[in-house]
Amino acid sequence: MRIVSGRLEPGEKLPSIRELAASLKINPNTVARAYRQLEEEGVVRARRGLGVYVSELPEGLEGKRRDSLQRLASDYVSRAAGIGADSETILNAVSMELRGGADDDRNQ
Protein backbone atom coordinates (compact mmCIF):
# COMPACT_ATOMS: atom_id res chain seq x y z
CA MET A 1 0.00 0.00 0.00
CA ARG A 2 2.81 2.44 0.78
CA ILE A 3 4.33 1.77 -2.62
CA VAL A 4 1.13 2.47 -4.54
CA SER A 5 0.38 5.55 -2.46
CA GLY A 6 3.85 6.93 -3.13
CA ARG A 7 5.02 6.87 0.49
CA LEU A 8 7.79 4.50 -0.61
CA GLU A 9 9.71 5.86 -3.57
CA PRO A 10 11.25 3.86 -6.41
CA GLY A 11 14.73 2.73 -5.38
CA GLU A 12 13.95 2.57 -1.65
CA LYS A 13 15.11 -0.60 0.07
CA LEU A 14 12.50 -2.69 1.85
CA PRO A 15 13.21 -4.42 5.16
CA SER A 16 14.77 -7.86 4.95
CA ILE A 17 12.44 -10.84 5.16
CA ARG A 18 13.61 -11.57 8.71
CA GLU A 19 13.27 -7.95 9.84
CA LEU A 20 9.77 -7.56 8.45
CA ALA A 21 8.61 -10.93 9.75
CA ALA A 22 9.91 -10.10 13.23
CA SER A 23 8.35 -6.64 13.29
CA LEU A 24 4.97 -7.98 12.10
CA LYS A 25 5.26 -11.16 14.20
CA ILE A 26 4.52 -13.39 11.21
CA ASN A 27 6.24 -16.32 9.57
CA PRO A 28 9.20 -15.35 7.35
CA ASN A 29 7.79 -17.63 4.63
CA THR A 30 4.74 -15.37 4.47
CA VAL A 31 6.94 -12.32 3.89
CA ALA A 32 9.02 -14.18 1.31
CA ARG A 33 5.85 -15.20 -0.54
CA ALA A 34 4.55 -11.60 -0.47
CA TYR A 35 7.87 -10.25 -1.75
CA ARG A 36 7.85 -12.86 -4.57
CA GLN A 37 4.33 -11.86 -5.54
CA LEU A 38 5.25 -8.16 -5.54
CA GLU A 39 8.26 -8.95 -7.70
CA GLU A 40 6.12 -10.95 -10.15
CA GLU A 41 3.78 -7.95 -10.39
CA GLY A 42 6.72 -5.65 -11.05
CA VAL A 43 6.25 -3.59 -7.91
CA VAL A 44 9.63 -4.50 -6.38
CA ARG A 45 12.87 -6.02 -7.61
CA ALA A 46 15.12 -8.33 -5.64
CA ARG A 47 18.87 -7.96 -5.95
CA ARG A 48 20.52 -11.15 -4.81
CA GLY A 49 22.56 -10.47 -1.70
CA LEU A 50 21.59 -6.79 -1.65
CA GLY A 51 17.90 -6.80 -0.75
CA VAL A 52 14.52 -5.91 -2.20
CA TYR A 53 13.92 -2.48 -3.71
CA VAL A 54 10.84 -0.56 -4.83
CA SER A 55 10.50 -0.45 -8.63
CA GLU A 56 8.91 2.16 -10.82
CA LEU A 57 5.20 1.43 -10.75
CA PRO A 58 4.23 -0.82 -13.64
CA GLU A 59 1.75 0.33 -16.26
CA GLY A 60 -1.84 -0.35 -15.32
CA LEU A 61 -1.27 -0.24 -11.56
CA GLU A 62 -3.04 3.11 -11.29
CA GLY A 63 -6.12 1.56 -12.90
CA LYS A 64 -5.99 -1.34 -10.44
CA ARG A 65 -5.72 1.15 -7.60
CA ARG A 66 -8.79 3.02 -8.88
CA ASP A 67 -10.73 -0.24 -9.25
CA SER A 68 -9.80 -1.28 -5.69
CA LEU A 69 -10.87 2.09 -4.35
CA GLN A 70 -14.18 1.83 -6.17
CA ARG A 71 -14.80 -1.65 -4.72
CA LEU A 72 -14.00 -0.37 -1.22
CA ALA A 73 -16.33 2.60 -1.65
CA SER A 74 -19.11 0.40 -2.98
CA ASP A 75 -18.72 -2.01 -0.07
CA TYR A 76 -18.71 0.84 2.46
CA VAL A 77 -21.82 2.48 0.97
CA SER A 78 -23.66 -0.86 0.90
CA ARG A 79 -22.79 -1.60 4.53
CA ALA A 80 -23.65 1.90 5.68
CA ALA A 81 -26.98 1.82 3.83
CA GLY A 82 -27.57 -1.60 5.40
CA ILE A 83 -27.56 -0.02 8.86
CA GLY A 84 -29.92 2.72 7.74
CA ALA A 85 -27.53 5.54 6.88
CA ASP A 86 -28.68 7.91 4.16
CA SER A 87 -26.42 9.49 1.53
CA GLU A 88 -25.76 12.65 3.54
CA THR A 89 -24.81 10.68 6.66
CA ILE A 90 -22.48 8.46 4.62
CA LEU A 91 -20.79 11.49 3.01
CA ASN A 92 -20.43 13.19 6.39
CA ALA A 93 -18.83 10.07 7.88
CA VAL A 94 -16.32 9.88 5.02
CA SER A 95 -15.54 13.61 5.30
CA MET A 96 -15.00 13.28 9.04
CA GLU A 97 -12.69 10.31 8.54
CA LEU A 98 -10.65 12.17 5.94
CA ARG A 99 -10.24 15.10 8.33
CA GLY A 100 -9.13 12.73 11.09
CA GLY A 101 -12.07 13.71 13.28
CA ALA A 102 -13.40 10.19 13.51
CA ASP A 103 -10.34 9.13 15.50
CA ASP A 104 -11.02 11.90 18.00
CA ASP A 105 -14.64 10.80 18.40
CA ARG A 106 -13.70 7.14 18.94
CA ASN A 107 -11.17 8.00 21.63
CA GLN A 108 -13.63 9.92 23.81
- Rounded Cα distance between 25 and 44, Å, is 22
Residues 19, 35 share a domain: yes
CA-nearest of 13, 19, 44, 49 to 31 is 19
Count how many domains the chain has.
2
Domain that holds residue 27: 2-54
Better-predicted residue by pLDDT, 107 or 39: 39
Residues 44, 74 share a domain: no
SS (H, E, C) the chain: CHHHHCCCCCCCECCCHHHHHHHHCCCHHHHHHHHHHHHHCCCEEEECCCEEEECCCCCCHHHHHHHHHHHHHHHHHHHHHHCCCCHHHHHHHHHHHHHCHHHHHHCC
pLDDT at residue 103 above 90? no
Residues 48, 8 share a domain: yes
33-92 confidence digits (pLDDT tens):
999 999 988 889 999 999 999 988 767 766 777 788 888 899 999 999 999 999 999 999
Write the CATH number for 16.
Answer: 1.10.10.10
Residues 45, 29 share a domain: yes
Please give the average per-residue pLDDT across 20-39, as a whole number: 94
Residue at 106 is within a domain = no
Residues 72, 90 share a domain: yes
Residue at 67 is within a domain = yes
Residue at 108 is within a domain = no
pLDDT at residue 108 above 70? no
CA-nearest of 28, 23, 58 to 40 is 58
